[in-house]
Amino acid sequence: MNLSDINNSRPTGPKTNPETISYGNKDGRIKFGHLHMENENLDSCVTSGVYLSAYDSRHYMSFDIDGHRKGWTLNSCPGSYQILCGEDIKKGDFGFFLLAENGDIVIRAPNGRVRISGLDVDIRADGPDNTRGSVNIDSNQSVNINTGIFDVKASVGAKIFTSATLSLIGNTSMKIVSNFVEGLSAATSTKPSKTFPDSTSQFNKFSSY
């Protein structure tokens, strides 16, 4: 369901709930059956079973029970949102577990940095067949890797491409091992080499991303 479908499914006119109960004071409140206002016309199609809020309207927790947010849990705070857990967890147990049975998990920081730190960090994509199971890293500027040992193993193939300059530097030594080693340069710009069937221009045409 997209946003237009949600808007079209919303009822017109204000929704009412005569069973709403509210307790609170100037510092905060708890409401059972709170109605979320959708627009300036006071239209609503979502009821919160339990709604906790501080004096700041941006600081709340809501357990929604109907409408286009049935079963949703919403948290909002104008300050820092922090979770501290796992102090009494034994080694090897989960200190924090997040599971989405269906749908995507999105972590965004449009004005900040996303940091993942741990004793070990594992990233794995596990698809059902060869059409899924990819790990994609996309950057508009650069990907920087600084490590002691950089080891890449590909069971099918590996490829490095750039439209500019490619530098391979080994201060101590460099080893290239293969059953066949083929190379092209400006000398083979129009004709193929003795061991390679394509010329440099043909190779660039079919190898570029």
Please state, in angstroms and rounded to a whole number, the distance separating the CA atoms of residues 190 and 198: 9
Q: For the chain, how many helices (H) and strands (E)?
A: 2, 6
Better-predicted residue by pLDDT, 200 or 181: 181
Torsion of Cα atoms, 186 then 162 then 152 then 139, to 10°: 170
Residue 1 confidence (pLDDT) above 60:
no
User: At residue 30, what is the residue type?
Assistant: I
Residue with tokens 């949703």: 72
Give pLDDT tens digits for 133-149.
999 999 999 999 999 99
Residue 189: the pLDDT is 60
Which token pair is 125?
Answer: 């994509």
CB contact at 8 A, 53 and 28: yes
Per DSSP bridges, beta strands 28-32 and 21-24 are: antiparallel
N- to C-terminal Cα separation, the chain: 34
Which residues touch 20 (CB under 8 Å, ≥6 apart)?
A: 31, 32, 33, 34, 35
Give pLDDT tens digits for 16-42.
889 999 999 999 999 999 998 877 766
Which token pair is 145?
Answer: 């890797």
Mean pLDDT across the stretch 106-119? 94
Residue 4: the pLDDT is 45
Q: Which helix (H) or strand (E) holds 35?
A: strand 34-35
Q: How high does pLDDT run on average in the chain?
A: 85
Q: Is residue 168 packed enough to be buried (19+ CB in 10 Å), middle (13-18) or exposed (0-12)?
A: exposed
Please state, in angstroms and rounded to a whole number, the distance separating the CA atoms of residues 206 and 62: 55
